[in-house]
Structure 1
């Protein structure tokens, strides 16, 4: 079990005790021992099974939709994608008490004495794993509302580090008044954490100017186009920025009290020579800097995200209605524009995006839309459960809503008005998690499971297992990745031919010792299966 200290070595226990002694006593505490153990937390190995019938497009697949408990999926991704995800966005259950949060196959209601503790335990396990998946320049965005925002902030501070908190953004989810409460509820939050804030600050993108922001560029220049004037002062006192400036009319200017000029004198003189200093229409005013609209690449994102810029809940509902012709079970879906804003800030054209509370598939929709706009090759991994319960055992939101929406956006669909909407193109492999008992793994794991995992570990697009092939093959740059399910004369000859051609091979096999003995000078090319997968999978995250 993930919290079983019997599994720790002496060195691990000592390290844990020393860390605990150094930890401050202030922080978030919840009743972990009192609540029912989460059934998803176990020692089972997790494999993935690919369903070609529910996949979109033809193999090899670049994108993944995983059906199953997201704790299982995250444990699997830790084996295959540790340190590979640039951007994570999640929209977890808000724990409103109104049948939005399922713990051990049962809804948690408002009267549950351990409602908040169950939610925190649920989120803690998943966020610990999510942190391991982030690349060094990675960032995570989490949507939340007032029900758990304060608990979530403390939880994320403990997992990602308080110093790694980038911002808490406010999303205006409503455009019309809400009068049911004492004070109308009009917003939600986005908590943003990065593994390395300095790298994120350097890497993050600016956002495009809005129409309102571009409208202030009212002046026209015959060559450079629209421009505006901005102040040439800065707060503070710097001796080399306190010089005197003489306007074209001869009026002398010095910085106002408590401020200095925003540049040293030589920089000012250069701007003046370039015609970039504005003294007002009469040439007598305080100097200001001319900024051309054509030079503005964007603006630094800020924490207020109004509905005019990123959409609102009603817009999101209409998007889903347009695709399906009716509303789905999701009461508060996110608009595509909101997720687009996140991706515009946090991703580059070749990045990998993960959403392990995928809901209606909005994240994949936004990825495809942004790729179509800027020619990018962003990829996505979505994880969604079926959300089946004992009362609704056949319910499958991953298959019927999430994957179906993404398929329609990729391939095209007819909207509610009867209009044909062109597809944005793209593919995905539809996968299901499968738990395999650790003590029978050597007998229960299938060749298809192994080949799928090896491809993902090595960053391959996902190809199907070819049953009648001698061995499974994928080329990774100058390296050929091979899985050898059995050893016979034909396999030995095929490997011998590849080595003779000076091919660089990475061979996974059940009996690597036999291959090492046969190809003595290529010993480092052979790795043991399933031991490599077991070692990478581990036993779950430790508390």
Structure 2
């Protein structure tokens, strides 16, 4: 549809007071993605005017609209008709509803009616009014209200301490929630089963080289790739040849290099492996052995393997092999009931530490931009997870955010694309208003809207654009790399030390004293203390207690295989005896293996491209004289999907008879007389979008000029926006 005709439709619908002729003026750009990759777009404009333009460019093409509008708290956080609305305004709720209604009507035109999703975040000030408004504007849609905990500390005023905000999800047509790797509520320790890998180092008291010389041998390791290359001979072989005496084995300290893994215990003494060399190589062929962390202080590798139990689970189909870390390498394992692709859905209450708006919103923004002012930015991960529930399974989705604020939406899409190699793109719209405090200061300095000093303090130029550029490039505005790491949605196994506590309260010889100790241990019930009990070991609890040193051996035997226990409380007369017990527990159980979010250095940036425009309006006389092709050109690039470098007419160049920019996926015929040359120029293209001009004699000129640009259907769409 022509821009002129689109303007008339909006006029008829009451969404435009009069016909307009918008144009996007390039301001800046950052290109860190591959050639031919889609571009994100940042538009500096009043979002109502920008929506009118986006309706021409993307009507019915948008997969997700995510917005975080003003919450109307009464704290002068937004304007209506150029005036701040505060808590003394008796019409502030009506003004807010009118403000939102006009924008939602336009937003609805952008969404794909068959599968588009609108997400609107809000707090308690307007949540009920917004719910009614969405019911009015989207009566045919399925709607849900989500509660998101954004601060565990809570904000206390007159009543209870508020910890949450809300998000309305509006699903059009057949749209539904995409499966995610987390439901954002269930305790992850309950949702994720314990990693099946166990330490190959034998634990317990029956693990001396003298008694099991056939289980002491070096495992040959490539220190760069951590690949197991083979095994060396056992100590039993050397004893049999007479090279070593059996009595020497417990004191043997073999040479240690990063190319060999020996069974070294936590106290530095030589221990034994769990399996013989032949069995190890058999497990290695199946991907059931892997090299872990290198302890550089002792030049000792940790080695993990699968015991009989997990192997049986694989055979029964309860534990799946989803791949291998490399060809011939360790297996990648996932329990069958944890298969995220099977359709895990996020729940309607979200409670995750990563959704904290202070740590992962305000603090993260300050780390990127310094002390620059922006109130209440969203948690980067809350926005990432919100978008994942909508476009997580659509790698080429188009997302629009016309209350872009600090630019969190683009930042979050960068994380999503980096995780799965997606090519999702977004259109951000924000004005360049200054805060109320800055406005007072600037007016006092004699600055006015439009002045360089005023515009430099506006939200788009001082926050949205710098934040987006820094995130993409991975460096601050002064060129220094961003510090810190992103937390990804991938989980990795990490070795963590177990916790030990020395109980130096004297002899715990009565049931009363033992119960007093247990009462101070979180999660451990006093009922586990019974007559004559010398220790507590439970399959249902993560804490264990040794009350009596004289039963240490029995305690260690009971602990064997209890890998779930993480906290140990040991009553010992001396620090030396406590340390000895600690070493023996570590030898028996080794470090705990936990699942943590994998990290991505912020300094790596993202392979994304971003074009920054300012919305302006063309002089209607220039449009009537058909002299505005240069200004319209960015619109055509966007309408064709914003793929490839944004083409420009050379400065001072005359309007060409046709325009066929290199690397772009569109072409424009401006002069009907050049049709044959135009067809020849685009003849080798297999796909793209082509515009032909409709020619008419202009009133003020006898020359023939294009009055409008009309698009033919694309031969093959190249993106969601195309």
TM-score under structure 2 length normalisation: 0.52
CA contact (8 A) 2:141 2:171 kept: no
What is the deviation of 1:147?
1.1
Which of 16, 19, 24 pairs up with 1:49?
Answer: 24
What is the deviation of 1:106?
1.6
Q: Which residue number in structure 2 is paired with residue 28 of structure 1?
A: none
Which of 383, 387, 409 pairs up with 2:433?
Answer: 387
Q: Which residue number in structure 2 is paired with residue 464 of structure 1?
A: 647
- SS at 2:118's partner residue? strand
Q: Which residue number in structure 1 is paired with residue 527 of structure 2?
A: none
- SS at 2:422's partner residue? coil
Question: 1:215 and 1:400, CA in 2 relative to 1: closer, same or farther beyond 3 A?
Answer: same
Alpha-carbon separation, structure 1, partners of 2:90 and 2:39: 44
- Range with greater deviation from structure 2 (99-108 or 178-187): 178-187
Structure number with the bigger relative contact order (C-alpha 8 A, sep ≥ 6) is: 1
- Range with greater deviation from structure 2 (173-182 or 69-78): 173-182
- Range with greater deviation from structure 2 (454-463 or 74-83): 454-463
Which of 61, 69, 85 pairs up with 1:108?
Answer: 85
Which of 176, 181, 187 pairs up with 1:200?
Answer: 176
| Gapped regions of structure 2 (runs ≥ 5) | 1-5, 199-314, 319-334, 443-448, 483-602, 699-704, 712-722
Alpha-carbon separation, structure 2, partners of 1:146 and 1:327: 27
CA contact (8 A) 1:447 1:485 kept: no
Q: Which residue number in structure 2 is paired with residue 91 of structure 1?
A: 68
Q: Which residue number in structure 1 is paired with residue 690 of structure 2?
A: 506
1:68 and 2:45 aligned: yes
Q: Which residue number in structure 1 is paired with residue 124 of structure 2?
A: 146
CA contact (8 A) 1:475 1:481 kept: no
Q: Which residue number in structure 2 is paired with residue 255 of structure 1?
A: none
Deviations 1:323-375 (A, max 9, x none): 012242x2211011011101211112111111100000001110112211211
- SS at 2:692's partner residue? strand
Alpha-carbon separation, structure 1, partners of 2:414 and 2:378: 16
Q: Which residue number in structure 2 is paired with residue 346 of structure 1?
A: 390
Q: Which residue number in structure 2 is paired with residue 229 of structure 1?
A: none
- SS at 1:331's partner residue? coil
Where in structure 2 are the equivalents of 1:250-329 lying within 5 Å? 292-297=336-341, 299-328=344-373
Question: 1:7 and 1:460, CA in 2 relative to 1: closer, same or farther beyond 3 A?
Answer: closer
**Aligned length, in residue pairs:** 419
Deviations 1:22-52 (A, max 9, x none): xxxxxxxxxxxxxxx9xx9532424232325
| Gapped regions of structure 1 (runs ≥ 5) | 13-36, 224-272, 277-290, 515-526, 534-543
What is the deviation of 1:129?
0.7
- SS at 1:100's partner residue? strand
Question: 1:93 and 1:430, CA in 2 relative to 1: closer, same or farther beyond 3 A?
Answer: same
CA contact (8 A) 1:70 1:385 kept: yes
Q: Which residue number in structure 1 is paired with residue 617 of structure 2?
A: 435
What is the deviation of 1:185?
1.8
1:497 and 2:472 aligned: no
CA contact (8 A) 1:98 1:110 kept: yes
Structure 1 or 2, whichever has the larger Rg, is: 2
Q: Which residue number in structure 1 is paired with residue 708 of structure 2?
A: 530
Aligned Cα root-mean-square deviation (Å) = 4.0
Question: 1:110 and 1:214, CA in 2 relative to 1: closer, same or farther beyond 3 A?
Answer: same
Alpha-carbon separation, structure 1, partners of 2:10 and 2:647: 40
What is the deviation of 1:309?
4.7
Alpha-carbon separation, structure 1, partners of 2:677 and 2:336: 64
Question: 1:69 and 1:6, CA in 2 relative to 1: closer, same or farther beyond 3 A?
Answer: closer
What is the deviation of 1:179?
3.0
Question: 1:112 and 1:376, CA in 2 relative to 1: closer, same or farther beyond 3 A?
Answer: same
Alpha-carbon separation, structure 2, partners of 1:500 and 1:409: 40
What is the deviation of 1:413?
1.4
What is the deviation of 1:76?
0.5
Alpha-carbon separation, structure 1, partners of 2:477 and 2:685: 55
Question: 1:502 and 1:73, CA in 2 relative to 1: closer, same or farther beyond 3 A?
Answer: closer
Alpha-carbon separation, structure 1, partners of 2:40 and 2:30: 9
Alpha-carbon separation, structure 1, partners of 2:421 and 2:123: 34
What is the deviation of 1:415?
9.6
CA contact (8 A) 1:460 1:474 kept: no
Structure number with higher helix proportion: 1
Q: Which residue number in structure 1 is paired with residue 218 of structure 2?
A: none
Q: Which residue number in structure 2 is paired with residue 212 of structure 1?
A: 187
- SS at 1:200's partner residue? coil
1:334 and 2:378 aligned: yes
Deviations 1:414-450 (A, max 9, x none): 499x764232232111111113466874248621232
What is the deviation of 1:532?
4.3
CA contact (8 A) 1:310 1:337 kept: yes
What is the deviation of 1:315?
2.8
Which of 362, 366, 374 pairs up with 2:412?
Answer: 366
